[in-house]
Amino acid sequence: MVHWVSDNEDSDKFEWDSDGEEEETSFNLAGAGSSAPASRNIDVRVANGYGKAGPSASSVQEYVAMGFPEEMVLKAMKDNGDDGAESLVELLLTYKALGNDPSVDNGSTSGCAPQAAADSDDDILENWDSEDAAERNKGPAFDESDDEDFLREMSQKDEKVDSLVNMGFPEDEAIMAVTRCGQDASIAVLVDSIYASQTAGDGYYGNSSDHEDNSYGGRKKGRPGNKRKRKSFGGQSQGSRGPLDGSNDEPMPLPNPMIGFNLPNGSMSVKRSLPGQAIGPPYFYYENVALAPKGVWTTISRFLYDIQPEFVDSKFFCAAARKRGYIHNLPLVNRSALRPIPPKTIFEAFPRTKKWWPSWDPRRQFNCLQTCVASAKLLERIRLALTNSVDPPPQRVQKYVLEECRKWNLAWVGLNKVAPLEPDEMEFLLGFPKDHTRGISRTERYRSLGNSFQVDTVAYHLSVLKDMFPHGMNVLSLFSGIGGAEVALHRLGIRMNNVISVEKSEVNRTILKSWWDQTQTGTLIEISDVQTLTSEKIESYIRRIGGFDLVIGGSPCNNLAGSNRHHRDGLEGEHSALFYHYFRILDAVKSIMERL
């Protein structure tokens, strides 16, 4: 919902504030989130035989923190030499699986007891140094290119670990997933690997039957007699599905026309049966761009209980296109459109433009509304091109002008004069009340509006909730933006008793709070960082307000939109990966409400 990039945006000026801190320039072998300084790179190199000295205390402790005995780590480092970090972890796992604990001398008759626990790391490292001094004095065990490759490899690995940890997984499980699947595995594959390991009871993590999943990667001791087991994504077994990264998936076919399951005053086009674990309440509603890279919607669908997306172009609800996909568990019958019905053509929405609209401009609807607008220089170039041409202008001039008008949603406001839509005109097209975003800069208004829901479209889907919750409802709004979901519910006449809103942008939070104070009597709680919405906080909110009736939102899509040619990374993108937070939180809500 928040910070969407429009389908037709070509500007490279769009900026996104990261949900985390600045990307670390150093890498962290033990996982993401560490505050260790960049000098730890030296420790990692040494720990793997890449330096002239033995392993440092900090590098040894990295692996000790992962659950390996200290002497096992030292032995593995010695045996591993310069084979790299992944090889070292595999060697440690082999030792653990075989019971090869170096604290007991294997085959040795020396009878030496294990070194006392009170010995310092420095003493152990000193013994290790003296024992292998001759070998290490032979010369460096690496060249510069090998070292750079190793550092680059570990940096990529740590980025994956960082993403998993930020999604709520324990650090050790994140590290092991990357080790098992490889650093090139997608986030979806890594997530599935962790869940598969938890469900199967991987020996390294202990007996999973003693635990219960209560969040996305969070675990706690299970209650006596509680035999609930988490199914793999989509409710299917791990072995019955292809990889979740979309590598073996064909692009999900998009309907043409993109009318969803039905339109107002239209007949039902789809009948569906939801899997048992997807049936509400709580109801959920997730939105993202329809024209996403290959495999993205298949992956999203698998995470969200294999529910078929509903693809809708908002041009059937208003005078501007907005192609979006929606996955939800809402009923499909008894939908109703907002009143009054909004205009569906440019001339109906803005009658004054008809006077100046040339006959050779066939547009009757705008393209997807963007987060930025055309420059004054472009508008002047268009004016000069038309002024210096005959009427009607030659085909090449018409083609140039029409391309720019479609690209930037320009409207005719005078003779040979085009202009971008004003923010209040965008508010009108998107279904927001007049002056909803007024009070902030024009740039911020365009950005916030371009990233929002189209209210009439969303309200049509949510309209089925009105009769179901006559006394109001509790809503968990994720990536709320400027409150498109809240405005839709309000315009439907659905009272919001409590709304927990998660939104990073302070500007957007201010807009939502201002609107809420003017129109609502319920309670609004705003959260700035989705990562802070842990299972514990979710449970506390559920206990306080009695549960959530609707979980609604759409994760940022600027790694999915076709206009973002430089960072169209799918669900592996820095921002679109926040989808996994949506799933994590929805899964936690359902699990906690089932338990309470």
For residue 202, give Cα distances in angstroms to 96, 97, 173, 199, 273: 13, 11, 10, 8, 34
What letter represents residue 28's amino acid? Answer: N
Closest CA to 450 of 13, 36, 64, 68: 13
Question: What does the H/E/C string look like for 268-334?
Answer: CCCCCCCCHHHCCCCEEEEEEECCCCCCHHHHHHHHCCCCCCEEEEHHHCCCECCEEEEEECCCCCC
Measured CA to CA, the distance from residue 286 to residue 321 in angstroms comes to 19
Q: Is residue 557 among the annotated active site residues? A: yes
For residue 476, give Cα distances in angstroms to 31, 302, 501: 30, 22, 6
Measured CA to CA, the distance from residue 535 to residue 491 in angstroms comes to 31
Tokens 């997730």 locate to 286
Closest CA to 244 of 191, 182, 292, 200: 191
β-pair partners for 414: 417
What letter represents residue 156's amino acid? Answer: Q
CA angle, 340 then 341 then 347, to 5°: 115
Measured CA to CA, the distance from residue 207 to residue 205 in angstroms comes to 7
The torsion of the CA quartet 441, 444, 446, 452, rounded to 10 degrees, works out to -140
Measured CA to CA, the distance from residue 63 to residue 90 in angstroms comes to 12
SS3 content of the chain, % helix, strand, coil (to 5): 40, 10, 50
Residues 576, 523 contacting (CB under 8 angstroms):
no
Residues 298, 229 contacting (CB under 8 angstroms):
no
Q: Name the catalytic one among 318, 368, 372, 557.
A: 557
Sheet strands (E) in 137-235: 211-213, 219-221
Work out the widest C-alpha separation in the chain, in whole angstroms.
102
**Which residues form the catalytic set?**
557
